[in-house]
Amino acid sequence: MEQVASESTEEGPQDRRRRPASVAPTLTAAALATAVLLVAAPFPREARVDAASAVLPLAGLACAVASGNGGGYLLGYAATLGTVRGVKSVTADMDLGRRPNGFGRGFPSSHSASAAYGASRLVATCLSAAPVARTVAAGVAALTGAGRIEDDHHDAIQVIAGLVFGLGFERLFRRSRRQVRARSPDRRPA
């Protein structure tokens, strides 16, 4: 009888899956605060865009940790930024890599990739039941890219490429995690 009681108090896989919903209000508030920061804060737009490209991945990390996948999230984020930096190096001297302000290493936008990576995790997991918050998170990622264009740090192609890198890598690493969990021995039917 004691063994049954101790097993019932352990957290099972379904409890872990429910946990992201408990952080949704906090992440929703963070997404809304970031949106306000982008639009109304008395800081230069460039500082607001930089903040958004850091806040979204951090909120995504909080979401990943809450759902038990912080390590996978960080691995995917590192792969995203590493790939983006590698592509920047390869395209640095090409027209594609030239920024509107005349400098190189502009393709793809790492700010856009970071913002999209964090927003993608939020939208797909912790904010999946909060449509307004999902829209805000996606909008903040889009405004991050728009701000980079407005400040002449990137052109539209560079920003779109950054968004694609961020979304693509986050989805790839989130999907890989699901496939690994589905194949684990403790998940197979008896």
Burial of 75 (0-12, 13-18, 19+ CB in 10 A): middle
Q: Higher model confidence: residue 14 or residue 51?
A: 51
Measuring CA to CA, how many Å separate 7 from each of 2, 3, 11, 45, 164? 9, 6, 9, 53, 44
Q: What is the value of pTM for the model shown?
A: 0.76
> For 126-175, how does the pLDDT look when each residue is reduced to its tens digit (9 = 90+)?
888 888 888 888 988 998 899 898 888 899 999 999 999 999 999 999 87
Residue 59 phi/psi, 5-degree rounding, is: -65, -40
Q: What is the pLDDT of residue 16?
A: 46
Measuring CA to CA, how many Å separate 56 from each of 10, 114, 117, 134? 32, 8, 8, 12
Domain locations in the chain as residue ranges? 44-184
pLDDT of 25 higher than 90: no
Is the distance from CB of 117 to CB of 14 less than 8 angstroms?
Answer: no
Q: Per-residue confidence at 26, pLDDT binned at 50, 70, 90?
A: low
> For 64-123, how does the pLDDT look when each residue is reduced to its tens digit (9 = 90+)?
888 888 899 999 999 999 999 999 999 988 988 889 888 888 899 999 999 999 999 999
DSSP state of 90: H
Q: What is the pLDDT of residue 46?
A: 77
